[in-house]
Amino acid sequence: MSSSKVITIPGEAAHLKRKIRGHLASLGFTKDRAGRLVPPGMDKEHYREMHAHQRKSRILENKIWIDKHAPALLKYFATGSELDVKKIRPTIEIVRGDTWQSNLFRLATYYWRIPISQGYGRRIRFLVWDEYHDKLIGIFALGDAVFNLRARDAYIGWDHPRRSSALVNLMDAYALGAVPPYNMLLGGKLIASLIPTKEVVETFKEKYQDSVGIITGERKNPDLVAVTTTSALGRSSMFRLYEEEGEELPKSDAKRLSRSCLIHLFSVYAEFNASQKPAVEVRLILAALQIQLHGIANNIPVAPMQYREPAFRNMLDRLSNNAIELVFFLERHAPLLPGFDVFKLAFGAALDEIRQNYIKFQAVLFRWLPIDNPNYSPQGSVPQFLYCPTITSDAISEFQENMEPILKSLGRLECWASDLSIELQNHLLGDYADQRVEHRVPIDPDYLVVTVDSAHREKLMRYFNEETDYGQKARAAEAWARDEQLRRMEGPGE
């Protein structure tokens, strides 16, 4: 009789283990030699990446709710260009259930890259408004504090009985933070500083002064004496409201933000500079076409053209994408960069010019550049090219005629990016540099200088808004969007 091997079919527990291991592996966890789990990194960015799947799932689960309520609530979220930083006036508002403020609070929580908990037990939610601009600065919410928290208990120094009776006077800030663009202006620190204010303490007292404990049945009559909070990303400067013994806070938060902004600029601008190749490529293609024509005219064998339209288009797309990243940079840091919205218009106009001019130029490239045969092999009988034109003098003339507009629009983008670099350096390093960087002096008036100087900025804004195709189309789109929103608010006609 032959022996049989018993195969154990994995049960529910084994299946669950596999799912957990697979999920941890997808987050980047590995094992060390001792078999212990090792996270992919211990910095804040890795923590955020590990929560990305959870955040995405939460947003997808609430997509119907977001699509329903967001259109009416997005007007309360500011863009950087809307803010006059010196006129920000914070005020707090308690959130009550089943109100549009409650919906606004919920929508704001979806901004966080690490999902916010719902809290438990007693809960009070607040909106923090910028009263002058009528925009939402951020939110905070207080809930029941956990019973065991070593750092808190050691700091207070209470024993178990004392904690049992006094914990009712503590709350935990389970949600706290600013939304863009206020989060770039120390908005989180502002909101943290509002928690111990008289308004919050009195709101707590009014809501819970007659509360009765569910377990003990006793009337507590609590007073809010402390608020704790925990951070998923470790110690945060948001909670360093006052100078602590033995610690030195930055002398100027504004200078620290400017330095961070400048460092970010260097990386974005370096990518843009590295992609400024299309203008050179156009001239190289022209030279190659001229070599082809010279070879044909003089019966000289010339190697096939190496340039292709798809490769040039990819190069142009990279430049456009990096230019858009510069626009995003201006949007993200707008509160630190007053007046720089003129560059958003300039870049939009330049990119729109490039797109329009490339439509005609692309047709010329297709007509006079070879098209490779994807099935070609040196050992096979398939021809190398699907299309390989013979270059004529008419081809050179057509190419030169159509390359000038695209070169001009590429040149304007390059010049305005240079102007942006000069203005940002002067603005962010003005307190450190001995002298300002001089503005560009244009030889051709079509390559006008873009500046945030108030003497010229308004004229530039009018030019980009009213005299460029981009500005006219943008204004028409905004007018249509306003009319459409009014139509929807008014509802179907009679």
Tell me the per-residue pLDDT of 189-221, one tens digit each, with 9 for 90 and over: 888 888 888 889 889 988 888 776 666 667 777
- Mean pLDDT across the stretch 456-465? 90
Tell me the per-residue pLDDT of 433-460, one tens digit each, with 9 for 90 and over: 566 778 888 888 889 999 988 888 889 9
Give the right CATH number for 62-243 from 1.10.3470, 3.40.1440, 3.40.630, 2.60.40.
3.40.630
C-alpha to C-alpha distance for 275 and 474, rounded to whole angstroms: 27
Name the residue with tokens 């120094």: 157
Tell me the per-residue pLDDT of 91-100, one tens digit each, with 9 for 90 and over: 999 999 889 9
Per cent of the chain over pLDDT 70 is 83
pLDDT of amino acid 248: 41
Tokens of 21: 């291991």
Tell me the per-residue pLDDT of 344-402, one tens digit each, with 9 for 90 and over: 999 999 999 999 999 999 999 999 999 988 888 888 888 888 888 989 999 999 999 99
pLDDT of amino acid 438: 84
C-alpha to C-alpha distance for 110 and 179, rounded to whole angstroms: 10
Helix, strand, coil proportions of the chain in percent (round to 5)? 55, 10, 35
- Mean pLDDT across the stretch 284-312? 86
CB 27 within 8 A of CB 50: yes
**CATH 3.40.630, the chain: domain bounds:** 62-243
CB 70 within 8 A of CB 107: yes
Query: For the chain, how many residues are written?
Result: 494
Q: What is the DSSP string of 181-237?
A: TGGGGTHHHHHHHHTTSHHHHHHHHHHHTT-B-TTT--B------EEE---TTSS-G
Q: What is the DSSP string of 121-165?
A: SSEEEEEEEETTTTEEEEEEEEEEPPS--HHHHHHHT--HHHHHH
C-alpha to C-alpha distance for 299 and 285, rounded to whole angstroms: 21
Query: What number of helices (H) and strands (E) belong to the chain?
Result: 16, 9
pTM of full prediction above 0.85 = no
- Mean pLDDT across the stretch 88-111? 92
The Cβ of residue 133 has, within 10 Å, a number of other Cβ atoms equal to 17
Helices (H), 373-468: 393-428, 454-462
Q: How far apart are the first and last CA of the chain?
A: 89
The closest alpha carbon to 319, from 273, 366, 268, belongs to 273
C-alpha to C-alpha distance for 275 and 167, rounded to whole angstroms: 59
Confidence of residue 251 (pLDDT cuts 50, 70, 90): very low
Confidence of residue 481 (pLDDT cuts 50, 70, 90): confident
CB 415 within 8 A of CB 443: no
Beta strand pairing call for 226-228 and 170-178: parallel
Amino acid (one-letter) located at 15: H
The closest alpha carbon to 173, from 212, 125, 209, belongs to 125
